[in-house]
């Protein structure tokens, strides 16, 4: 990230808010569908300003999440880096779609994110017992339009490009 | 957003050699970056899982996210604070009274316990038993509070508000007032992560309080259940038996309650019995836990020895 460009603070702030939303305690039935906030924010910024936010940012955020959640160091980092990679590869096509169609791509990206995290969990001896682990991807898909609109307004207001 | 004209201009720009090259090289940079990141992650995971060499990195990272974690704690804490501030005088007096009574009761029990412990020690010495009994009365404890932070919901881990700064170390056992809760697995400067005894990857050595039968208590992934492993079919285990820590692993002090047997199944087709037990500690409910600080035993033993010497004829 270049420091001299405006809006770095806003991008950082959006990641911090996403981080807080990820670790805030919720009752179990909501928790299962808690959207993958970090993933959503990462996908948005990768689409909007691909030259500034990318794989490295995703990887770093994942590393912080790993430390905060007690997972293996590198587990979420790997998954979020892959999400950033896929977004960077496809953003030219996805950016022109209407919001509801975009959210399906988001579902696929976030679902892959969850699969990677739980594949690693399975390898080290915590196999998932049911299919609830795809809940965050589903929640993320439903929240994508709102996240998109909010972050887009923020971006326009602060002239981040 | 991107209408036809822009697409066209982009295409025509692509034809210009310079920009096209630029785009391609940007694409290549993305490829290289993802490969590096994936390799780094895999390396980090393997090192973290197999060799535990990344504790310093984890400490730095968790210390830097601790402000965020305590920020989430803030509204709850304020609620508690207001609750305490505006509790009525009457309630406080009543609570004080109750606590005083309880303290007296506990102190009386403790006196009995100290005598019993001294006696136990003397008897063991007489028997020249090799069992290394932890100095119960001399153990220092630290009260730690759980932070209400959601960790990975598929692992049984909790976050505590005490870290290496307060004397927490990896491997320290955790108790609540009813029994063993778990042990510390990561300790950073201001916080620590503990694994609960019900985590599927946790096991601790235990002993039947009734007849001394030794076994292992493995986690089941369910807060209300432990699996008692490696008990042969012909052993004597009954529903309601209390299992206590045996102290054999060297991690947990001996003699603390762990779980009470809820189900026993002897299946002749299997080499071992299937026994499940319910943890005595309230794993999903307690808000405060006790950490046993491993005081070097030399500091306390003279005291105990003196007591012993006094007790001996």
Inter-chain contacts counted by CB atoms under 8 A, chains A and B? 120
pLDDT tens per residue across all 313 residues of chain B:
444 445 444 444 444 445 556 667 778 888 899 999 999 999 999 998 888 788 888 888 988 888 888 888 888 788 888 887 887 788 888 989 999 999 988 888 888 788 888 777 777 765 654 333 344 545 667 888 888 666 676 788 888 888 888 888 888 888 887 889 999 998 888 889 899 999 988 999 999 988 889 999 999 888 899 999 999 888 889 999 999 998 888 888 888 889 999 999 988 888 899 999 999 988 887 778 888 776 544 333 333 333 333 333 3
Interface of A with B in 80-119 (CB under 8 A): 81-82, 85, 88-89, 95-96, 118
Interface touch A73/B62, C-beta < 8 Å = no
Residue B34 has its nearest CB partner, among A24, A85, A128, at A85
Helix ranges, chain B (H): 4-15, 17-46, 55-85, 89-127, 301-311
User: Of A47, A32, A45, A40, which is closest to residue A106 (Cα–Cα)?
Assistant: A40
Determine contact: B207 vs chain A, CB below 8 A. no
Q: What is the dihedral of CA B224, B227, B228, B230, to 10 degrees?
A: 180
User: How confident is the model over A34-46, as pLDDT tens digits?
Assistant: 999 999 999 999 9
Token pair recorded at residue B299? 């500091």
Probe site for chain A from B13, B27, B45 (most A CB atoms < 10 A):
B45
**Cα-only R_g, chain B:** 28
Nearest-Cα residue of chain B relative to residue A88: B30
Q: For the complex shown, is ipTM > 0.90?
A: no
Of A106 and B108, the one with more pLDDT = A106
Q: What is the DSSP string of A73-129?
A: TTHHHHHHHHHHHHHHHHHHHHTTS-HHHHHHHHHHHHHHHHHHHHHHHHHTT---S
User: Of B147, B134, B165, B178, which is closest to residue B300 (Cα–Cα)?
Assistant: B134
Residue B72 has its nearest CB partner, among A23, A59, A88, at A23
- Residue A105 binned pLDDT confidence (cut-offs 50, 70, 90): very high
The answer to whether B159 and B151 are in contact (CB under 8 A) is yes
> Residues A75, A81, A83, CA angle at the centre, nearest 5°?
105
Look up the pTM and report it: 0.69
């Amino acid at each position: 990230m270049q420091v001299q460009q405006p809006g770095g603070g806003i991008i950082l702030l959006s990641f911090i808010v996403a981080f807080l939303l990820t670790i805030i305690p919720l009752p179990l039935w909501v928790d299962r569908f808690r959207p993958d906030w970090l993933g959503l924010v990462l996908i948005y910024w990768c689409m909007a300003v691909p030259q500034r936010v990318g794989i490295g940012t995703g990887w770093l955020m994942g590393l912080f999440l790993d430390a905060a959640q007690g997972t293996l160091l590198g587990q979420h980092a790997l998954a979020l880096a892959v999400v950033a990679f896929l977004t960077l590869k496809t953003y030219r096509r996805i950016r022109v779609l209407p919001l509801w169609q975009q959210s399906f791509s988001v579902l696929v990206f976030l679902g892959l994110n969850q699969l990677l995290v739980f594949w690693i969990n399975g390898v080290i001896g915590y196999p998932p017992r049911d299919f609830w682990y795809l809940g965050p991807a589903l929640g993320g898909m439903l929240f994508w339009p709102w996240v998109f609109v909010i972050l887009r307004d923020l971006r326009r207001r602060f002239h981040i490009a | 957003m991107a209408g036809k004209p822009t697409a066209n201009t982009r295409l025509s720009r692509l034809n210009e050699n310079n920009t096209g090259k630029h785009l391609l090289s940007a694409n290549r940079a993305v490829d290289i970056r993802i490969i590096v990141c994936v390799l780094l992650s895999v390396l980090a995971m393997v090192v973290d899982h197999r060799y535990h060499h990344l504790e310093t990195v984890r400490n730095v990272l968790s210390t830097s996210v601790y402000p965020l974690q305590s920020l989430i704690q803030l509204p709850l804490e304020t609620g508690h604070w207001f609750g305490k501030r505006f509790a009525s005088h009457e309630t406080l007096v009543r609570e004080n009274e109750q606590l005083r009574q309880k303290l007296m009761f506990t102190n009386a029990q403790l006196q009995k316990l100290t005598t019993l412990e001294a006696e136990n020690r003397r008897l063991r010495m007489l028997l020249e038993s090799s069992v290394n009994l932890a100095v119960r009365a001399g153990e220092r404890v630290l009260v730690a509070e759980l932070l209400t932070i959601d960790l990975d919901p598929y692992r049984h881990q909790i976050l505590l508000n005490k870290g290496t700064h307060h004397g927490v170390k990896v491997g320290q056992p955790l108790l609540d007032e009813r029994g063993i809760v778990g042990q510390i697995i990561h300790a950073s400067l201001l916080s620590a992560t503990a694994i609960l005894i019900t985590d599927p990857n946790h096991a601790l050595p235990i002993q039947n309080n009734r007849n001394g039968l030794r076994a292992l208590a493995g986690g089941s992934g369910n807060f209300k259940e432990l699996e008692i492993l490696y008990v042969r079919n012909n052993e004597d285990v009954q529903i309601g038996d209390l299992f206590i820590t045996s102290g054999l692993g060297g991690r947990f002090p001996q003699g603390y309650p762990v779980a009470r047997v809820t189900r026993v199944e002897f299946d002749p087709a299997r080499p071992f019995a299937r026994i499940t037990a319910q943890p005595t500690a309230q794993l999903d409910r307690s808000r405060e836990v006790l950490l046993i600080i491993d005081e070097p035993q030399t500091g306390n033993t003279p005291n105990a020895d003196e007591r012993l010497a006094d007790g001996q004829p």
